[in-house]
Amino acid sequence: MPRFIVPPITRVLLVLLIVVSTIAAVGRYSAYVFSIHEATKQTLVDPSVDETHALSGVYKPSETTIPMLSIVPGVSTFYPWVYITSTFLERTLPPFLVTGAAILFSGRYCEPIWGTVEFGRFVLLLILVPNIALTIFHTLVIGQFTGATAAAPDSLPTGGVALVAGFLVAFKQMIPEHRILLFKGLVQVKVAWLAAIYLFLYTVVFGLLQLKGFHDAPKAWTGFFVSWIYLRFFRVSYVDPLLPFSNTINNVALAGPSLASPASAATASSGGIKIKGDVSDTFALNQFFPEPLRSLIKVVSDYTFSALVALRVCAAFDQDEVDASNVRAANRASGGHSYVMSNYNQRRFNLGSGNTSSNGSGTPQSTLGGAHSTRAEAERRRALALRMLDESLIKQQQQHPPQPQQQPQPMADLQVPNRVVLPPTRVN
């Protein structure tokens, strides 16, 4: 039976969630008990003070702000660590369980595939960028136009909402065709739609029901865009060049665009072929949303991207790069990974002589019989690449049909001399 292994960064995140949330809970309830004690003491000292009126000014534990753990604009400048700790501060039990489950399952799946350093970089972006962006927005916009006080309770939401949204975007990239079965298979939800469902829940459902979770919607959207932009344009990964083709076809078909392409960041390395971002059609921004919104988002996103390219903020996508990313996306959708496993994954997840593979749910599992599983995985990748190349050739032939060739004229027989007509002889 395989061991339940938790990677190192995932362990750190879980410990931070438990420790920070526990300290915050103890601090809030201690302040709540102390404020009740002071209100009761005031009624005993001054009988004219109504007890109900005195207790009405006591904040509930969920409404109490701890400036040393949560972000309070104007105060958090003296506590810079709150831009990290506020992500792990959950005020109630349901979001605490949701964030903990998201960290555990996402970390156990993504960290072995991406590597500890890359996963840590991804998590750090999801923690810092949303918190800093919302702090700047609250200070410069809301504080200026509404006159909100800097020390208002719960001025900025806490919790791992942005972290969960970012993990769902990563799952959309890695295992889009996997399904989550609920109620013994009666309800099936594709992993590709989890991010849209999550955003819809915080934006529309909580907004219509006037729930407190609606205040977390900006943080959820910020985490969504931070994750998508990083995975789409910046994340460096390595793909497995395990194909029986020539170097040119191998680099184009599986690893990425041609190494001579200026738009490509692909370079050969000892651990695989290095690529930057994911420009596949299935990972476009409009693919996260259902059809009524997909067409509108595509128009807006294409116009925005064209404007950024014109301003030279980013480079245009090369068609070879898009085709190569589509091949890798098809490989991931079929259950495989084009990424080279990290050293940590090979060291910790290879139990005995087994290799890491993926089951139907997309969870890395240990398998025995390493040589056989490696050959089977290589054959599966070869078959997939051959099929994708065949489809690409058929598509090119349909777009550019061959021109009809003219029949060659028969060559003249050089062995038989041509008849020569001589002029008539002149008679003197």
The verdict on 325 and 181 lying in the same domain is no
DSSP annotation string for 57-76:
TPPPGGG---TTTS--TTTG
Torsion of CA 325, 328, 334, 336, to 10 degrees: -150
Euclidean distance between CA atoms 261 and 315, whole angstroms: 12
Q: What is the pLDDT of residue 269?
A: 44
The 8-class DSSP code of residue 284 comes to: S
Note whether 176 and 318 are same-domain residues. Answer: no
Average pLDDT across the chain, whole number: 74
Residues 347-368: tens digit of each pLDDT: 444 333 334 444 444 444 433 3
Residue 60 belongs to a domain with what CATH number? 1.20.1540.10
Residue 291 within any structural domain of the chain: yes
Domain-embedded: residue 113: yes
Select from 291, 314, 344 the last residue of a domain. Answer: 344
- The answer as to whether 67 is a domain residue is yes
The one-letter amino acid code at 62 reads S
Taking the CA atoms of residue 199, residue 203, residue 205 and residue 211 in that order, the dihedral angle to the nearest 10 degrees is 120
Rounded to an integer, the average pLDDT of 33-60 is: 65
* Same domain assignment for residues 92 and 204: yes
CB count, 10 Å around CB of 62? 11
Average pLDDT over every residue of 206-223: 82
Tell me the percentage of the chain whose pLDDT exceeds 70: 63
Is 290 among the domain residues?
yes
Predicted local distance difference test score (pLDDT) of residue 221: 94
What's the number of domains the chain is made of?
A: 2
Q: Does one domain contain both 105 and 214?
A: yes
For residue 112, give its domain range. 1-234
> In the beta sheet, which residues pair with residue 236?
276
Q: What is the pLDDT of residue 348?
A: 43
Domain boundary pick from 344, 362, 377:
344
CA distance linking residue 141 with residue 98, whole number of Å = 31
Shared-domain flag, residues 168 and 309: no
Residues 229 and 287 in one domain: no
SS3 419: coil
Rounded-to-integer distance, Cα 3 and Cα 1, Å: 7
Residue 82: closest CA among 74, 71, 72, 73: 71
The predicted model scores a pTM of 0.71
Please indicate, yes or no, whether residues 110 and 230 belong to a single structural domain of this protein: yes
Other C-beta atoms closer than 10 Å to the C-beta of 193 total: 18
pLDDT for res 361: 41
pLDDT of residue 372: 45
Is a pLDDT exceeding 50 seen at residue 345? no
pLDDT confidence of residue 339? 47
Kindly state whether residues 156 and 210 are assigned to the same domain: yes
Question: In the chain, what percentage of residues exceed pLDDT 90?
Answer: 27
Whether 107 and 26 map to the same domain: the answer is yes
Please tell me which of 150-164, 243-257, 277-291 the model is most confident about, judged by mean pLDDT. Answer: 277-291
Query: What would the mean pLDDT of 250-262 be, rounded to a whole number?
Result: 39
**What is the pLDDT at residue 199?**
92
Answer whether residue 217 is part of any domain. yes
Predicted pLDDT at 417? 56
Higher pLDDT, 169 or 204: 169
Rounded average pLDDT over 131-154: 67
Among 126, 142, 135, smallest CA distance to 75 is for 135
Considering the domain architecture, whether residues 229 and 279 belong to the same structural domain is answered as no
Are residue 205 and residue 310 in the same domain, yes or no?
no
Joined tokens for residue 89: 């501060």
pLDDT digits (tens, 9 = 90+) for 306-332: 998 888 888 888 888 888 888 888 877
Pick the more confident residue, 307 or 340: 307
Residues 207 and 283 in one domain: no
More confident residue, 367 or 124: 124
In this prediction, residue 317 carries a pLDDT of: 83
Half-sphere exposure of 237 toward its Cβ, with a 13 Å CA cutoff?
30
Considering the domain boundaries, does residue 368 fall inside one?
Answer: no
**Which of 13-22, 55-64, 240-249 has the weakest average pLDDT?**
240-249
Distance, CA of 109 to CA of 363 (rounded, Å): 6
Q: What is the DSSP letter of 190?
A: E
The answer to the question of residue 9 being in a domain is yes
Residue where one domain finishes, among candidates 344, 369, 388: 344
Helices (H) and strands (E) counted in the chain, each on its own, are 15, 7
Q: Is residue 186 part of a domain?
A: yes
How many Cβ atoms sit within 10 Å of the Cβ of residue 181? 11
Which are the contacts of 30, defined by CB distance < 8 A and separation ≥ 6?
none
